[in-house]
Amino acid sequence: MPENKASKIMTTGEAIERFVRDGCELVIGNYTVGTCYNQISEIIRRGIKGLTIYSQSGVFDVEMLIAGGCVDRAVLTYCLRSGGRSGGSMLERRQRAGKVRAEDFSNFTYNAMLTAGAMGYSFMPVLPAIMTSDVFKVRDFMGEDKFRVVECPYTKKPIPVVQGVNPDVCVVHVQRADRHGNAQYWGALGSVKWACLASKKVIVSCEEIVHEDIVKSSPHNTIVPGFRVDAVIEEPLGAHPAELSGCYNLDVLFWSLADMANKTEEGFMAWMDEWVYGVEDRASYIERYVRKFGKKSLDALMARPYYSAPADYGAAFDSMWDEEGKMRYWGKTRQEIENILEERGFLIDVEKSD
């Protein structure tokens, strides 16, 4: 079977080893929620360097990758700051130290780069008022290419545009996927789909790998078709301490402790020692969590179900032949149809024909 020779199902370690290389462009597919912390942590443990990261809304994902020394350049829209004015962020610290360069977009203009890339366009118009903002005027490593201005061929008005981008790899966590990589995600959609579709390789981790029949009965939940996905990982609680719709809530306690730690570089590096470098994988991370905070704290995060009403994909029939063996539109049996073709000379014996 073709599935055996090219199985996409693998561990987080195997997927990161195969697809995330030093110096590549990496997009964090999740937007604020469902963040693939399992994959982020693995990238850091493997010591991957020189990344250009794309992040729609950076929280600890961006902070961790920067703290891990993985990032040279960051394309950003929004980023966590811990501890208000007296605190800071790893991004701020490393940027001031000249170790990380950042290009700041708005949520929409950033998303537009991915959407253009996903659609195969070299650029995408953005909302014109951005031209009044320093988001448009202040440029870092993207320079002139950050925004350009074209004339609309119809209205003759100036239109700011962003370039289409195709990051080398997208890392993303979702609720479920099948073995082919059809990834199903629901909740706050953000730009998750566009990050996947823009990228050259897509690594999907999920709470559960499900049978393809489940996917086929709910295709409206699929955000990226399997043929675009290169790795499928089953990683329960892969997004902790972020939340995932229908699975678990944001871990406010754990989150706040990380946030407090992040007021200083030393604090956050100690947090990294404990929760990234100090564990081998997601399972041992969860083990450590339960040891430290108790199973009760973990259980308290688990979502109570609130199911979507099933969408009925049913049809009137699933065969062209009715109960009496007659073709539904013609009222003839297969034998009757073949007889007509034979009588009229439409059936050709290929071996005997001239």
Partner 1 sequence: MSKKATKEELMIIAVAREIKDGDKVILGVGLPTTAGGLAKAINAPNCVLMTEAGIIDFEPQVPPNHIADVMCLRGFACAEDLFNTFTTINYRGFVDKAILGVGQVDRYGNLNTSFMEGGPTTGMRLTGAGGAPDFIAYAQETILTLRNGEFVEKLDYFTSPGYLGGGSERDDSGLFPKGSGPTMLISTEGIFRFDKVTKEIYLESLLPGFTAEDIKAKVPWDLKVADPIKPPPTPTEEEIEYIRTFAPQHCVPRQVMMELAAGKFMEVLFGKNKKE
Which residue from 214, 279, 293, 327 is in contact with partner 1, where contact means CB under 8 A?
293
Enumerate residues 6+ apart whose C-beta is below 8 A from 42: 12, 13, 16, 281
3-state SS class at 200: coil
What is the C-alpha separation between 258 and 103, in angstroms, rounded?
A: 25
- Candidate segments 39-47, 188-196, 227-235, 282-290, binder of partner 1 by CB under 8 A: 188-196
Name which position in 38, 39, 115, 262 contacts partner 1 (CB under 8 A): 115
**18, 108, 327, 332: residue in contact with partner 1 (rule CB under 8 A):** 108
Measured from the CB atom, the residue of 149 and 347 that comes closer to partner 1 is: 149
Residue 249 in contact with partner 1, rule: CB under 8 A: yes
Cα–Cα dist 56/191, whole Å: 8
Q: Which stretch binds partner 1 (CB under 8 A): 39-47, 135-143, 163-171, 332-340?
A: 135-143
303 near partner 1, rule: CB under 8 A: yes
Task: Yes or no: say if 125 and 154 are a contact pair by the CB < 8 Å rule.
Answer: no
Helices 37-45 & 12-19, crossing angle to 10 degrees?
60
β-pairing verdict for 183-184 and 158-163: unpaired
Rounded CA-CA distance 40/65 in Å is 7
Placement of tokens 């009222």 in the chain: 331
Binding mask 201-220 for partner 1 (x = CB under 8 A): --------------------
Distance CA 20, CA 147 (A): 28
Neighbours of 200 (CB within 10 A): 15
Residue 288 Cβ vs partner 1, minimum distance, rounded to whole Å: 14
Question: Per DSSP, what are the bridge partners of residue 18?
Answer: none
Number of residues near partner 1 (by CB under 8 A) = 66
Q: What SS3 class is residue 275?
A: helix
Q: Does 262 bind partner 1 (CB under 8 A)?
A: no
Pick the closer one to partner 1 by CB: 78 or 326: 78
Q: Does 85 bind partner 1 (CB under 8 A)?
A: yes
Q: Which of 19, 123, 194, 271 binds partner 1 (CB under 8 A)?
A: 194
The answer to the question of residue 89 lying near partner 1 (CB under 8 A) is yes
Q: ∠ CA 336-340-344 to the nearest 5 degrees?
A: 170
91 touching partner 1, by CB under 8 A: yes
In the complex, the residues that contact partner 1 under the rule CB under 8 A are 31-33, 56-57, 76-81, 84-85, 88-89, 91-92, 95-96, 98, 101-102, 104-109, 111-112, 115, 127-135, 137-138, 140, 157, 186-194, 243, 245, 249-250, 252-253, 256-257, 293-294, 297, 303, 306
